[in-house]
Amino acid sequence: MASGNAFFDELRSKPEVIDPPQNEDIIDSESVNDPTQAAIKPNVTVSSSVRELLECPVCLNAMYPPIHQCSNGHTLCSGCKPRVHNRCPTCRHELGNIRCLALEKVAASLELPCKYQSFGCIGIYPYYSKLKHESQCSYRPYSCPYAGSECTVIGDIPYLVAHLKDDHKVDMHNGSTFNHRYVKSNPHEVENATWMLTVFSCFGQYFCLHFEAFQLGMAPVYIAFLRFMGDDNEAKNYSYSLEVGGNGRKMTWQGVPRSIRDSHRKVRDSFDGLIIQRNMALFFSGGDRKELKLRVTGRIWKEQ
């Protein structure tokens, strides 16, 4: 519902996430991300009117203590109070420092299903634990790992594999070894460099091999790295090696694939992969050094 005031409409467009209260009587940090530890109870249905009571009228996010109210009883989350200059966004009265303890107690009595229930999470969580659980829930969807575009698709791993194949036309390969060839006619161009992504299926899992050029300082460099389509705790069960060479020389890299929970840019900017300086890449390419011809080979294995 519109507030009738452009200032408050603008604030709605900039939601601020408030951390749940650190109340030891309410939050069990050891079990907040484990659906098996959360009581498996009949699905709790909370009426829309109660949900609306717990929704901040400015940012529209769920409210957590301290929940503020004006003298007329209108509520507001603690994050938005300073942003409205201590004026109630509903009636414009001064807010003061009145807490709505009754609403805080109502919230503490609620138990809700995880918002990722449709992805398989079966846990029921206290209101004040739910937000923390959802930020770590193992069932939360993954973002599309395709680089070079602002793809906003999210989903589970089978859905993303089909999406990469059908929508991004990514090459799919079976097996744990690879032989990747990269050719570029003008190695001095970085802005128009092709983003290469290949998906490998092995050990019942999927892995993304990235190879690309990017600017490091004044010169282009090339990087190859592997990402695991799953969570970090599973990624640590695997290792991989990469090798590039030519003219009697070679460079090798061995590492652990990063989870696609880490963004492509985060992995690239941490230099967690095989990095080839342009001069070395041209040396490996041979010839007149005017065309880039690199062959990257490697393999993936499961640690015992």
pLDDT digits (tens, 9 = 90+) for 127-171: 888 889 998 998 999 999 998 667 899 999 999 999 999 999 999
* Residue 265 confidence class, pLDDT cut points 50, 70, 90: confident
pLDDT tens per residue, range 86-103: 889 999 988 888 899 999
Q: Does some domain include residue 97? A: yes
> What range does the domain containing 60 cover?
48-136
| pLDDT recorded at residue 24 | 39
In a domain, 187, yes or no: yes
**CATH for 189:** 2.60.210.10
Same domain, 236 and 290: yes
Same domain, 219 and 75: no
Please list, in sequence order, all residues whose beta carbon lies within 8 angstroms of the beta carbon of residue 20, skipping any fewer than 6 positions away. Answer: 27, 64, 128, 129, 131, 132
Closest by CA position to 75, among listed 59, 54, 50, 105? 54
Judge whether 4 lies within some domain: no
Q: Are residues 67 and 104 in the same domain?
A: yes
pTM, rounded to two decimals? 0.69
Based on the fold, state whether residues 102 and 202 are members of the same structural domain.
Answer: no
CATH of the domain at 121: 3.30.40.10
Residues 228, 118 share a domain: no
224 lies in some domain = yes
The mean per-residue pLDDT over the stretch 46-69 comes to: 83
The arithmetic mean of pLDDT across residues 53-78, rounded, is 89
Among residues 99, 116, 136, which one ends one of the domains?
A: 136
Residues 161 and 127 in one domain: no
- Domains in the chain: how many in total? 2
- Is residue 254 within 8 A of residue 241, CB to CB? The reply is yes
Asked if residue 248 and residue 189 are part of one domain, the reply reads yes
Q: Which residue among 75, 106, 136 closes a domain?
A: 136
Side chain identity at residue 10, one-letter code: E
